[in-house]
Amino acid sequence: MKYPKIRQAKAVDNTTLMIEFTNQEVKKYDICHLLDVPMFSPLRQPAFFKNFKVEQGGYGIVWNEEIDLSEYELWKNSVAWTDQENLGGDRI
């Protein structure tokens, strides 16, 4: 099965990403479950967490050469963004 690529993303707080995929679905992904993994510990720092880029082609989100998340991980382990969480009507 092919999974949608990431169109754009933004951090909405210190542990949550709002991700828009190429199929126009918007989902949220909470990184809290990753923070006990040593490789992901730098994401505990809010400034570091918020400083990521969407990889060219939408194949993942990258913080640095060691820390990234694939579009598969973000798609499969995220939940739908609801209208109640719309952040004042803003989409990404």
Digit-coded pLDDT (tens) for 28-75:
999 999 999 999 999 999 999 999 999 999 999 999 999 999 999 999
CATH number reported for the structural domain that contains residue 46 in this entry: 3.30.2020.10
Instruction: With cut-offs at 50, 70 and 90, classify the pLDDT of residue 84.
Output: low
Let me know if residue 87 belongs to a domain: no
Let me know if residue 92 belongs to a domain: no
For residue 9, pLDDT over 80 is answered with yes
Total domain count for the chain?
A: 1
CA terminus-to-terminus distance, the chain: 26
- Label residue 92 exposed, middle or buried (CB < 10 Å: 0-12, 13-18, 19+): middle
Let me know if residue 30 belongs to a domain: yes
Q: Which domain holds residue 72?
A: 6-82
Let me know if residue 90 belongs to a domain: no
